[in-house]
Amino acid sequence: MTRGFKPAGEGVWRSPAGVVVRMRRKGNDWRFDELVFEGRVVATRVDDGIRLRAGDVDVRPSDGGFEIRLGQ
């Protein structure tokens, strides 16, 4: 999850385009909790739920959680 992101606090990461992703600890795992971006956000319905595209960040449902990736 953190490849290409810069740390911005405990469980908080910032992408090069300014997208802030907050993760929350659940037991030993970190789970996606919040995405903040002042710009265009696209939400698309997919079979497993909803996919978000905000700036250079892509959030997709994955195995009962979410996969967060840095795009181009």
Asked if residue 49 is part of any domain, the answer here is yes
Q: What is the pTM of this model?
A: 0.84
- Note down the domain range covering 53: 6-70
Q: Is residue 28 part of a domain?
A: yes
Indicate whether 1 belongs to any domain. no
Question: What residue type is assigned to position 32 of the chain?
Answer: F
Mind listing the pLDDT tens digit of every residue in the chain (72 residues)? 578 899 999 999 999 999 999 999 989 988 899 999 999 999 999 998 999 999 999 999 988 889 999 986
Q: Show the tokens assigned to 32.
A: 């996606």
Q: Is residue 48 part of a domain?
A: yes
Residues 41 and 63: their CA atoms lie apart, in Å, by 23
